Structure 1
Amino acid sequence: MIQDMGLELIRIMGPFDANLLGRLLLTLVLSGLVGLERSGHERASGFRPHILVGIGACLVTMAGAYGFAELSSERDALRVASYVVSGIGFMGAGAILRHGTTVRGLTTAATLWGCAGIGITVAVGLGWLAIAGTLLFLFTLTVLEWFERRLNFGGPISRLRIHLRDDSRSVGKALDALVRLGVPVKRATVLPGAGTSALLDVELARTLSAEQAPLLARQLLTLKKYVVQVETAITPLDEPTTMDESDEVQKDDTIVPLNLKDATLLRDLNDPDEAVPGSQTERSR
């Protein structure tokens, strides 16, 4: 009786294979290394999601390669792997977010897809190739990112820190103003500010000149209902130039492409909204 139960358990569990277990552990380590790099950038799809994707891809590929020996004499891991790659595409799409003209998550989606490739490569017995691929992933995500920021095809990335008033429309108004002024926004992040106010951290796609930065700050400060203060950093290494509503800025006639001199361009953004029936403004009419 006990012997029969043991045989049935072996049939259910299958024979133990240390090689397959080792491949799973190697996938965990390699996918975890890539996930740690993403976690350092505070991405939701960070350490654990990358490991889960890698291990899942490895399991499915090994199941396709070794799990159907009783049903077929031919192993067809390639077919299963193709389904894995297609399925991971949907997960990668969920990591991509679009805010206006700014798209975030492309790198994280690519690393998720890459971890599936790591798992597949380990599953078919090419551990050395998976290790080499992981090292190239990390090289691309770290060293080449630093190189890209240095190169930036025109200069170091500029940043704006816009201190907003406690108004639910402040973020939208500030971003709308940047679009009207022709400012190339690469990424915008809303951070908690002092008290109940908010801080809009804006990363620009190209560098502002020393003349453009104060003019841009002055334009944004015309939104008195929504913007309190603007900090501009010409390069990440420079000290930010802080301006508030009392600062005077000289205009320069040499400013190019950005539309920073039209004093009326943002005027309607600062106008009061249409009065709500029953409000004090409506009663005064």
Structure 2
Amino acid sequence: MSTSKPTLRSVNVTRYVTPLREGGSLPAIAEADDGFMYVLKFRGAGQGANALIAELISGEIARALGFKVPEIVFANLDEAFGRTEPDEEIQDLLKASVGLNLALHYLSGSYTFDPVVTTINETLASAIVWLDAFVMNVDRTARNTNMLTWHNELWLIDHGASLYFHHAWSDPAAQARKPFLPIRDHVLLPFAAKLDEANEAAHRIITPALLRSVVSLVPDEWLPDETMTAAEKREGYVQFLLSRLSVSDQFINEAKHAREAII
């Protein structure tokens, strides 16, 4: 597992390839000036920059914990990009997203993970459940696992529905201590028999310094707020995560009770 300081590259989007008609950020496959293909997530989509912030923070925490996560990059969208796009809905989305967006390396040839046909060990399942309970990710269910198999390895994707407290910003530290009932719908919960071990392992890696380092990656322009500065809002994310970490025994017990009810 890695504890190195996270960094993000920046790329310029050169070609819109095809839309992916799913997800709150209305993503698309796009090509960038480094020659790679990416799943591009737009700041101008319905949930705005919040979905990108959640994707960035939760994705980089997952990476620090040792999970395989596609490389996350900042993706610049030029004002002239998309002017020839014939689809009006897509053109409006591109216009609303001029500037800094987020993208994840496209795992060509990957396929959706299905726990019914692919065995997952208890240690890995427990660690993923811990992560999603920690960041309050509501979107890793049987209906939408948000996991891919690529080159015979499990990859975690699409964390834009996590950290949902920021959609109605109010006392982040207090929000972090609230119960997380959606954990009962987690697709891997039946296999997560080692939650206490996962909790101990995560605490060895996730430190206040690591959390501050990850949150520091969030660009100022994604943090507009009439009532606080970007620095103050960034600190709010840090306080949420620190508070959430401090009550990990609580959310692990929630997960264990939910698991007992379904097995």
Q: What TM-score do you get using the length of structure 2 for normalisation?
A: 0.25
* RCO comparison, higher one (Cα < 8 Å, 6+): 2
Q: Where is the helix percentage greater, Structure 1 or Structure 2?
A: 1
